[in-house]
Amino acid sequence: MYQKGRNMFEFDQYLGFLAFLTILTIGFWLMIFLLTFVVPYWLIGNLREIFKERKEAKQAQLEE
């Protein structure tokens, strides 16, 4: 079954596995960051702009 002195991975396979885990972890944290900070920031900013434009249009209409 398991031979003494034999490694489970060769060294280049080990490096590839570490690179895969690193890229996977970076992608995971990037998605967490985007979903918790960037997307809400973008949505709130857009909603503020829409309400601001509507308010200005209403003010301009009332002044006429």
Contact 30, 23 (CB under 8 A): no
For residue 37, the 8-state DSSP code is I
3-state secondary structure 2-28: CCCCCCCCCHHHHHHHHHHHHHHHHHH
pLDDT single digits (tens) 1-57: 556 666 677 889 999 999 999 999 999 999 999 999 999 999 999 999 999 999 999
Element (H, E) at 34: none
